[in-house]
């Protein structure tokens, strides 16, 4: 049994995190623009209090004295101990400096991106990188400095392993992209898609996936995201454009994130285990619903007629097959967030390679634009016209969040592995999706992926469910089968 005092302290940490999450959600959905400065202070205060509680000697003593019984309690102590130790290794003054540097970099990054002026952002990225180097020095047990940074997002994964996996992925994707580029182009949806009707359809879709009005909200935000305050309070956000249906797919994506949090075992609430285990596994859930369900042929057998009914002009006279092709256009483009299912991971591989070189010190920040442009030519065969559409496009480096990008491609890889494992257990999955029925998929994910929360480490979870570690082969096989079929190559 865990002592009531330890349970109370761990519960408090979860509550502080939920309070911060609510303030962050509010900032991006409801807060009037002038509230930003005050909100920044409130959030900084909460972060400081949470850090103090996380690193408190008393928490360490309670963890030392704990006598966990059974798998769940052992996991609670193991994970809480790791969170506590990691937070204590970083001096408070370094943690605060990292926060300040990241908030200082926001404005210059936004201006640099808007005006195509990398030189303006450069000193801020150099400062963030230098602080990350000091952060890495706080941990002496990593094989590679980048391992320490990745550990905050994907515990247990090493740079060496990601290099290997991304190398295989790259080798498989580059020829597929080239073959698609040489094939007859896919048709384009004529549009427009009035936004009010998209919102209605998005809610209908979300409800079919598992959005439940008693425990979820959907609101508008500039950048769609999902946030959970507890398994019974899930917030997803959306953004729509009249020209295309990307907003609809973004909703499927965010609902996938939301379902993960919603289906964590309620017994784990307020224990440090009651949330997603890693960003890569989280992303596997959003990608699974967005791409493997939402862009599939059986899915559109059910939703195609509903789309046509709502958007007769938007769909035009495209046949069912051409509608499916239009929804699955593959084309090398400059911007990661707009990239399709096939080229997306190549954008991520580029960022991973550049980050590792910057952390190793083999790539200077001043040479980043040139290295970026050469990488885009290599990986996607396209010319980058300016840094706005190149190395300044993502917000992550302004926050100093190095080690985060790989989780996007890890999500694609893990989604494909989990999808294969699920397929073996649910042989009539396709027929169900074709009738708009997702209960069996949702239940399988709850049992095998969602319910354990952080109880099982990400690598062990994949091994338990799929019988192996991170492996790009299922993703490559699925993409080849699907897109060679759609493009007739």
Residues marked active site are found at 254
Nearer to Zn ion, 198 or 286 (CB): 286
Piece in contact with Zn ion (CB under 5 A), picked from 78-86, 123-131, 283-291, 309-317: 283-291
Nearer to Zn ion, 84 or 257 (CB): 257
Piece in contact with Zn ion (CB under 5 A), picked from 83-91, 162-170, 280-288, 450-458: 280-288
Please report how close the Cβ of residue 236 comes to Zn ion at its closest, in angstroms: 11
Please report how close the Cβ of residue 283 comes to Zn ion at its closest, in angstroms: 5
Strands 233-238 and 226-230: antiparallel
Q: Site for Zn ion (CB under 5 A): how many residues?
A: 1
Query: For the purposes of burial, counting CB atoms within 10 Å of the CB of 65, is it exposed (0-12), middle (13-18) or buried (19 or more)?
Result: exposed
- For the chain, the maximum distance between any two Cα atoms, rounded to a whole number of angstroms, is 69
Ranges of H-type helices in 138-263? 145-150, 159-182, 195-209, 246-262
Piece in contact with Zn ion (CB under 5 A), picked from 12-20, 167-175, 278-286, 316-324: 278-286
Please report how close the Cβ of residue 57 comes to Zn ion at its closest, in angstroms: 37
Nearer to Zn ion, 359 or 475 (CB): 475
237 binds Zn ion (CB under 5 A): no
**From edge to edge, which strands make up the β-sheet containing 216-220?**
216-220, 233-238, 226-230
**Separation in Å, CA 259 to CA 209, 263, 279, 401:** 8, 6, 14, 25
Contact 78, 274 (CB under 8 A): no
**Separation in Å, CA 354 to CA 21, 150, 207, 318:** 31, 14, 40, 41
Piece in contact with Zn ion (CB under 5 A), picked from 24-32, 282-290, 328-336, 467-475: 282-290
Nearer to Zn ion, 311 or 399 (CB): 399
Backbone angles phi, psi at 339, to 5 degrees: -70, 155
Contact 251, 224 (CB under 8 A): yes
Nearer to Zn ion, 85 or 219 (CB): 219
286, 343, 393, 459: which one contacts Zn ion (CB under 5 A)?
Answer: 286
Is residue 303 classed as helix, strand or coil in its secondary structure?
helix
Q: Which residues bind Zn ion (CB under 5 A)?
A: 286
């Amino acid at each position: 049994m865990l002592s009531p005092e330890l349970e109370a302290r761990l519960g408090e940490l979860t509550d502080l995190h939920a309070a911060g999450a609510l303030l962050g959600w509010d900032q991006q959905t409801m807060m009037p623009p002038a509230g930003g400065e005050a909100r920044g202070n409130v959030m900084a205060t909460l972060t400081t209090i949470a850090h103090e509680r996380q690193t408190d000697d008393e928490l360490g003593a309670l963890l030392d004295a704990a006598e966990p019984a059974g798998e769940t309690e052992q996991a609670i102590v193991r994970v809480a101990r790791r969170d506590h130790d990691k937070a204590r290794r970083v001096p408070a003054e370094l943690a605060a400096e990292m926060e300040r540097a990241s908030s200082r970099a926001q404005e210059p990054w936004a201006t640099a991106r808007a005006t195509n002026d990398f030189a303006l952002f450069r000193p801020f990225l150099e400062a963030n990188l230098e602080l990350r180097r000091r952060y890495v020095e706080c941990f002496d047990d990593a094989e590679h400095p980048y391992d320490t940074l990745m550990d905050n997002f994907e515990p247990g994964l090493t740079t060496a392993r990601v290099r290997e996996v991304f190398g295989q992925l790259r080798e498989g994707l580059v020829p597929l992209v080239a073959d698609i580029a040489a094939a007859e182009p896919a048709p384009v949806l004529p549009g427009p898609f009035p936004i009010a009707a998209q919102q209605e359809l998005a809610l209908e879709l979300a409800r079919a996936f598992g959005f439940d009005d008693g425990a979820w909200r959907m609101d508008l935000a500039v950048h769609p995201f999902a946030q959970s305050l507890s398994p019974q309070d899930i917030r997803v956000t959306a953004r729509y454009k009249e020209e295309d249906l990307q907003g609809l797919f973004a909703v499927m994506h965010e609902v996938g994130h939301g379902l993960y949090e919603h289906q964590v075992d309620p017994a784990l609430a307020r224990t440090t285990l009651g949330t997603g285990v890693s960003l890569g596994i989280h992303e596997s859930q959003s990608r699974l619903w967005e791409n493997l369900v939402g862009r599939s042929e059986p899915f559109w057998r059910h939703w195609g007629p509903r789309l046509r009914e709502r958007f007769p002009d938007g769909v035009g006279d495209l046949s069912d097959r051409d509608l499916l092709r239009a929804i699955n256009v593959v084309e090398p483009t400059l911007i990661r967030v707009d990239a399709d299912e096939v080229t997306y991971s190549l954008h991520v591989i580029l960022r991973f390679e550049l980050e590792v070189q910057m952390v190793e010190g083999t790539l200077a920040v001043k040479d980043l634009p040139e290295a970026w442009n050469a990488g885009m030519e290599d990986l996607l065969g396209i010319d980058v016209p300016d840094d706005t559409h190149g190395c300044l496009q993502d917000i992550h480096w302004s926050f100093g969040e190095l080690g985060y990008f790989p989780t996007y491609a890890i999500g694609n890889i893990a989604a494909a592995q989990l999808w294969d494992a699920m397929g073996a257990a649910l042989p009539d999955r396709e027929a169900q999706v074709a009738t708009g029925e997702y209960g069996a998929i949702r239940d399988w994910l709850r049992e095998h992926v969602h319910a354990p929360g952080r109880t099982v480490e990400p690598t062990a979870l994949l091994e338990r469910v799929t019988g192996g570690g991170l492996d790009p082969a299922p993703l490559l096989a699925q993409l080849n089968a699907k897109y060679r079929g759609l493009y007739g190559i």
